[in-house]
A = this chain, B = another copy of it.
């Protein structure tokens, strides 16, 4: 890659990250090119598709998620590892509104630029799930695809502005549906009561 091209690429990516964090995954590509002081065609040259751009944006974070899963697998108890990772996954999406639908679609489309990263992340989650299942700590009838889907659903709920206050509680509810035999010892403070509105 020529030096000027590399410079454009990097700058474009930095601007795109800011714009996507601010406006979401369906931000205007024109606007990104404009803010980067770059011709619209240059953006398309470096990132022939919106998914290619997002893949470049998310690759690092997704790789981190995969690495963290591997780490949790050896450092934490099966149930703690799973729930911690789930929380992390949902939190990650809060930086990029509207990204979960794209990731769901990418999982099913091998031609998508996001496909490989998503498959890898799903596999990482599946390992944590299997481990928890083997320890009798997670429902045995859930598979990795469904785990991914539930994460995506929680992320989608997090995108709804009116649900800010409920996000944590909704996470607990769904997590409790996957996990079993959680906190059968101790536990009264586990589920805090909430004011009905």
Q: Which of A13-21, A27-35, A59-67, A101-109 contacts B (4 or more CB under 8 A)?
A: A101-109
Which of under 10, 10 to 19, 20 to 34, or 35 or more describes the interface residues of A?
A: 35 or more
Q: Which of B108, B157, B161 contacts A108 (CB 8 A)?
A: B161
Residue numbers in B under 8 Å from A141 (CB-CB): 169, 191-194
Binary interface encoding of chain A residues 157-197 relative to chain B, with 1 for a CB under 8 A from any of its CBs, else 0 = 10011110010011001101110000000000001111011
Count identical subunits in the complex: 2
**Is A140 an interface residue when CB atoms closer than 8 A count as contact?**
yes
Say yes or no: B197 contacts A139, CB within 8 Å.
no
Q: Which of B152, B160, B177 contacts A104 (CB 8 A)?
A: B160
**Is A12 an interface residue when CB atoms closer than 8 A count as contact?**
no
Within A122-152, the residues touching B (CB, 8 Å) are: 139-146, 149-150, 152
Binary interface encoding of chain A residues 86-105 relative to chain B, with 1 for a CB under 8 A from any of its CBs, else 0 = 00000000000000010011
Chain A contact residues, CB within 8 Å of chain B: 101, 104-105, 107-108, 139-146, 149-150, 152-154, 156-157, 160-163, 166, 169-170, 173-174, 176-178, 191-194, 196-197
